[in-house]
Amino acid sequence: LSNSKPTDEILDEILIMNRKEWYETATRQLVNQATSQKKSAKKAQKEEKQEAQFRSSELSTSSDKTGVSFKGSLFQANYYSTKFQRRGQLLYAVLSDLRKKCPSFNLFPQNDKNSSPTTIKIASIGGGPGTDAAGLLWIQKDFHPNQRFQVVLYDYETSWKRYAK
Per-residue pLDDT in tens (0 to 9) along the chain, 165 residues: 334 555 556 655 655 578 888 888 888 988 888 887 656 556 567 777 777 777 777 666 655 556 667 777 888 888 888 888 888 898 888 888 888 888 777 777 666 666 677 788 888 888 878 888 889 988 888 888 888 888 888 888 777 777 765
142 phi/psi in degrees, rounded to 5: -80, -30
Measure the CA–CA gap between 151 and 132, rounded to whole angstroms: 9
Q: What is the DSSP letter of 68?
A: -
**pLDDT at 2 (0 to 100):** 39
Element (H, E) at 59: none
At 11, the amino acid letter reads L
- 60-81 core/surface letters (b: 16 or more CB in 10 A; e: else): eeeeeeeebebebbbbbbbbbb
Whether the CB-CB separation of 72 and 48 falls below 8 Å is answered with yes
